Amino acid sequence: MDSAPDTRISTSDSLAYWNTIPATVDGMLGGYPQISRVDLKGSANFLAKLRREYPSSSSSSSVAPNRTLLKRGLDCGAGIGRVTAGFLSTVCETIDVVEPVERFASEVKGAKMAGSGQVGNVYVSGLEKWVPEQQYDLIWNQWCLGHLKDRELVEYLRRCKKAVTMDGWIVIKENMSTNRDGEDVFDETDSNVTRTNEKFQRLFKEADVRCLKTELQRGFPKGLYPVRLYALRP
């Protein structure tokens, strides 16, 4: 019998769980709303370093290439748009959103920055079945990929590969398993798998994406899972 942790993931169970959760930052962050600020800052720093280390080949403007706004970003498993509002809206002209819970997606549509015209298409869908229709300079995936089985994650990354612009990035920011046996951990509360760094690296190889930079988020309270960022390109 196949007992790999990801085989226990059930989309209907995770959606049932998220449908009980309030559409608030507290709800998105599992009762740790205080980490949002340091999280968003860590994400902004990571992207800034990436753009300095890999400057865009197409930028001809007099503005420092790493400061120009990216044309189109994508917030995946966006929830109520915490990342869109607090970070992506500062680095992208337009942000599309993918989120399977209608109640959360409606929050993004109704959010303040939506009035600024920065929020583009809002797709109410799980990532396992979502097919990109646009090209993106930045595809941001945070705290949602544990709801995809390993095979679904590989297929999803293959689709992202085709949807990223030449100088674009796929970024993943997820909890890391600290299991002593070096295994992924299934959590039945939200039907989610927390993967090891080794597992992520293996799935990147299978999807044929290159990991050009990775680092751990700093400054989170002790007792939480370590959180790692990965910058990927085709």
Ligand X SMILES: C[S@@+](CC[C@H](N)C(=O)[O-])C[C@H]1O[C@@H](n2cnc3c(N)ncnc32)[C@H](O)[C@@H]1O
Residue with Cβ nearer ligand X (128 or 183): 128
Least spacing, CB of residue 104 vs ligand X, in Å: 5
Residue with Cβ nearer ligand X (119 or 148): 148
Residue with Cβ nearer ligand X (26 or 167): 26
The burial of 52, by beta-carbon neighbours within 10 Å (0-12 exposed, 13-18 middle, 19 or more buried), is given as exposed
Least spacing, CB of residue 191 vs ligand X, in Å: 8
Interacting residue ranges for ligand X, rule: CB under 6 A: 11, 14, 18, 28, 77-79, 82-83, 99-101, 104, 126-128, 142-144, 147-148
Least spacing, CB of residue 148 vs ligand X, in Å: 6
Give the closest residue to 170 by CA, choosing from 195, 194, 199, 203: 203
Residue with Cβ nearer ligand X (31 or 115): 31
Residue with Cβ nearer ligand X (103 or 167): 103
Helix (H) or strand (E) holding 154: helix 150-162
Least spacing, CB of residue 152 vs ligand X, in Å: 8
HEC sequence for 13-80: HHHHHHCCCCCCHHHHCCCCHHHHHHHHHHHHHHHHHHHHHCCCCCCCCCCCCCCCCEEEEEEECCCC
- In the numeric block, which tokens belong to residue 140? 């941001």
Q: Please, which residues bridge with residue 123 across strands?
A: 98
Residue with Cβ nearer ligand X (41 or 68): 41
Cα 209 from Cα 88, distance rounded (Å): 23
Distances (CA, A) of 166 to 80, 163, 230, 233: 29, 10, 18, 9
Cα 22 from Cα 25, distance rounded (Å): 9
Least spacing, CB of residue 181 vs ligand X, in Å: 25
Least spacing, CB of residue 203 vs ligand X, in Å: 16
